[in-house]
Amino acid sequence: EAPKTPKMSVDEAVRDLDAPELTKQEAAAIALYEHGPAAKGAVPTIIAILQRDVQNVRTDLLHVLIAIG
């Protein structure tokens, strides 16, 4: 399977991680996962969200951290 092209930039995805809409948060997490190591700039935001214990995308964000490496 060919790698997927992320549907948004890392900066857009970082911004949307804090969106009030769950669908935007999920789309942002998917985009960051697809960016893989190129999304390392998102790590501080991901850590901050995980520390707030936001359950909606917690598992998705853990997968993103794994993809980033």
* Rounded Cα–Cα distance for residues 2 and 10 (Å): 20
Between the CA of residue 19 and those of 3, 22, 52, what are the distances in Å?
Answer: 26, 7, 14
The pLDDT value given to residue 58: 87
Angle between helices 43-51 and 58-68 (to 10 degrees): 150
> Whole-structure pTM over 0.85, yes or no?
yes
The pLDDT value given to residue 3: 60
What is the tens place of the pLDDT at every residue in 3-54? 678 889 999 999 999 899 999 999 999 999 999 999 999 999 999 999 987 6
Confidence of residue 1 (pLDDT cuts 50, 70, 90): low
